[in-house]
Amino acid sequence: MSRHSQNGPIYEVEGLVIDLYTPTVSVRAVDGAGFYVAPGETLAIVGESGSGKTVMTLGPLGLLPEGVAVDLRGTARADGKDILSMSPTDLSRLRGGFFGVIFQDPMSALNPMLKIGPQLAEQARRFAGLSAEEAKKEAVSLLARSGIPDPEDRYDRYPHELSGGMLQRAMIALALAARPRVLIADEPTTALDATVQAQILALIRQIQKEDGIAVILITHDIGAVSVLADRVAVLYAGQVAEEGSAIDVLTAPVHPYTRGLLASVPDFRSNNATGTKEIPGIPPNQAQLEPGCRFADRCELVQPQCRTHRPPLVKVGAGPVPHRVACPVVMAAEGIVTHD
Amino acid sequence: MQRMFMRRVGLALLLMLAATALTFWLVTAAPGNVAALIAERAAGAGADGEMIAKIADDLGLNDPLPVRYARWLGDALTGDFGVSLRTGKPMAEEFAERIPMTLALLAGGGVLALVLSLAMGIAGAASNGGIVDRVLHGLALVGASTPNFFFAAMLVIVFSVWLGMVPTFGVAGLTSWLLPWITIALFPASVLARVVRVNMQDTMSRPFATTGFAKGLTRSAVLLREALPNIAIPYMTTFGAQFTLMIIGAIVVERVFGLNGVGAFFIEAIRFRDFIGMQAILTLFVVFFVSINLLVDLLAMLADPRLRRPRKA
């Protein structure tokens, strides 16, 4: 049914502009950014808080918190279908069945008044077409598969009766209950203990391998990226600074921001922080954006043109996975040529 | 849970004791002499000081206040609230006649306030800043700021005098209850509609509401199935408080619409310095207040899984 081949993108976003309004300010949270993810692939979207990672990924699905007015332009396609022109009902079905979402803090993302198991069963019934009885069995097996011990007992539990790590496993089970084709994990380990973080990441990787679904991992944890990601998109102030295979971006970063970001990650093997280097300055105020490169004010390589012209995202290198960078200055300085 | 339950019940009993003692003291401290009133009733103008003194002595009115309260409490616990100085009938009889009337008023008003406030609050949340939301917000503000005696008079003028749809006075059939119910429900319905609306808004901006959307629910499904259960506790607590306050409203509403309930009796008791009647009605109010609040607290505890089923250690 899909025009796309097995390896074509299953969720893709292009030229996305998202403005968020409150009565007093408007913020351009996403500024002409885009990404794509193919079945069986894990895309990591990295960037610091406020860079627009979550807004870019969940915004087209209508999954931003209520109370903020959103103005959204660009294109977003799921399995080739245009999401932004869908009716609210169609979009609801797509959110429930095609996408599964794991949120940051399972303690607040699960409804305190609802039992865990029945929610899973309902998803399985509505979206996987199971009978009530099958759906309950499926829910229990989903809980088991997510690594929750004694799943029959947990089925009837309320969120407050489970620990944070168990809740995130339940959240994962909930996201999987409708048998989605794209799993979006929005900082799935940020709210968890360090020991639990690794388990959750391992679980996501295992599910991804077994089901062959597309995974989008939104994170600022470079460690998680290196464990899970096939491809990485680096977001800065609502724009994509660099994207490419995880190996290219993590081992041969080109954009000054990506380099700065990687240099600021502490190396656990050295027991001091001397190896790390922070990026000076703070991200720009996205309520009053200047033309040109968003990173110009913090960049060591800044040139006059950086402040007037927005750098285009161009392909560098000739590898099978496109590696794109939005910085002509560093390319010129290091003799990197475009492969477009 | 069980311990919490017992503590709440114990506290409620203590509260009733303290409140009845306080009203007993206030009623006896009010100007006027019970013995003189009784003597006047019995002998008209022929009542003299000697007779009054004898009555006071017979009734134990010269005993210290704590002794009198203890005696009153003992009687009250057996259902004996004394004889009304105004009507000459035992208060137990008055209660039997009047409580059903007042209960019907409060129950009808309570149901109306419940239905109206939920409907208005949910419709407002569904409209979310739209025209329906703003109109309902305006209505709730007007409703909460309109005095019930004024509102009652306006209803009577429009529906009884102009349109002749319902009687102006007394009750005969279900339609005659409509105006009293609407009047007494106006304030609580308005306040509770705002409680529903505001809590809905807060709940819809919580992360679990976003999870509800991510589960593929439409906005109305998220409102009703994810948000509504979460406002149950604040709603029930406020509803309990508003429902108990309705008994104050009943005092006015019963007078305006000529209903022979305890509220109307209370006004008369004050006017005739019927201390026995006043104390009996006040005791009834205290019991009503405390037991409704207790009931609501217990129901709220049952509605919250975090209280009903605390995490096992």
Domain residue limits, chain B: 1-78, 91-308
Q: What are phi and psi of B266, to 5 degrees?
A: -60, -45
CB pair distance less than 8 Å for B226 and A111: yes
Q: Is the pLDDT of residue B282 over 50?
A: yes
**How is residue B52 written in tokens?**
């009054």
Number of H helices, E strands in chain B: 14, 0
Say if the Cβ atoms of B214 and A96 lie within 8 Å. yes
Fold adopted by B91-308:
MetI-like fold (1.10.3720)
pTM exceeds 0.95, yes or no: no
Rounded Cα distance between B243 and B111, Å, is 10
| Distant-in-sequence, close-in-space partners of B107: CB < 8 Å, separation ≥ 6 | none
Name the E strands within A140-275: 182-186, 214-219, 231-236, 239-245
- Could you tell me if B114 and B122 are in contact, meaning their C-beta atoms sit under 8 angstroms apart? no
Query: Which residues in chain B have Cβ-Cβ distances shorter than 8 Å to A105?
Result: 207
CA nearest A177 in B: which residue?
A: B215
Q: What is the pLDDT of residue A91?
A: 94
Q: pLDDT tens for residues B58-72?
A: 888 888 899 999 999
pLDDT given at position A318: 81
| Contact check, Cβ <8 Å, B215/A93 | no
Mutate to test the interface with A, among B213, B219, B304 (most CBs of A within 10 A): B213
- Residues of B in Cβ contact (< 8 Å) with A103: 207, 210-211, 214
Higher-confidence residue of B114 and A21: namely: B114
Cross-strand partners of A219: A46
Give percent of chain B above pLDDT 70: 99
Q: How far does chain B reach from its first CA to its final CA, in angstroms?
A: 15
Q: What's the confidence (pLDDT) of residue A277?
A: 77
Partner B contacted by A111 (CB < 8 A):
yes
Max mean pLDDT among A276-290, B86-100, B162-176 falls in B86-100
Residues of chain A found within 8 Å of residue B127, distances taken between Cβ atoms = none
Enumerate residues 6+ apart whose C-beta is below 8 A from B248: none
- Over its length of 340 residues, how does chain A's per-residue pLDDT go in tens digits? 333 345 689 999 999 999 998 888 889 999 999 999 999 999 999 998 889 999 999 999 999 888 788 899 999 999 999 999 999 999 999 999 999 999 999 999 999 999 999 999 999 999 988 999 999 999 999 999 999 999 999 999 999 999 999 999 999 999 999 999 999 999 998 888 888 888 899 999 999 999 999 999 999 889 889 989 999 999 999 999 999 999 999 999 999 999 999 988 876 555 555 567 788 888 888 777 778 898 988 888 889 988 898 999 999 988 889 999 999 999 888 888 887 7
How large is the average pLDDT for residues B106-131?
95
Q: How many inter-chain contacts (A to B, CB under 8 Å) are there?
A: 93
What residues have CB less than 8 Å from B154, skipping those under 6 apart? Answer: none
Q: Tally Cβ neighbours within 10 Å of residue A257.
A: 27
pLDDT at residue B167, rounded to an integer: 77
The pLDDT value recorded for residue B5 is 84
Choice among A94-98, A322-326, B40-44, B307-311 with the minimum mean pLDDT: B40-44
The shortest C-alpha distance from B112 to chain A (Å) reads 26
Q: Which residues contact A166 (CB under 8 A, 6 or more apart)?
A: A148, A154
Residue A125 · residue A155 · CB < 8 Å: no
Q: Which amino acid is at A48?
A: E
Alpha carbons B62 and B47: distance in angstroms, whole number: 19
Contact A33, A238 (CB under 8 A): yes
Give counts: helices (H), strands (E), chain A.
12, 12
Cβ within 8 Å, pair A111-B208: yes
Q: In what order do the strands lie in the sheet with A81-82?
A: A26-37, A11-21, A69-78, A81-82
Q: Is the per-residue pLDDT at B146 higher than 80?
A: yes
Alpha-carbon gap: A319 to the closest alpha carbon of chain B (Å)? 36
Residues of B in Cβ contact (< 8 Å) with A66: 128, 201, 204-205, 209
- Angstrom distances, CA of residue B122 to CA of A100, A162, B204: 28, 31, 12
**A288 vs B: CB within 8 A:** no
Residue A275 has what pLDDT?
64
**What is the reported pLDDT for A271?**
56
Mark which residues 6-35 of A lie under 8 Å from B by CB.
Answer: none
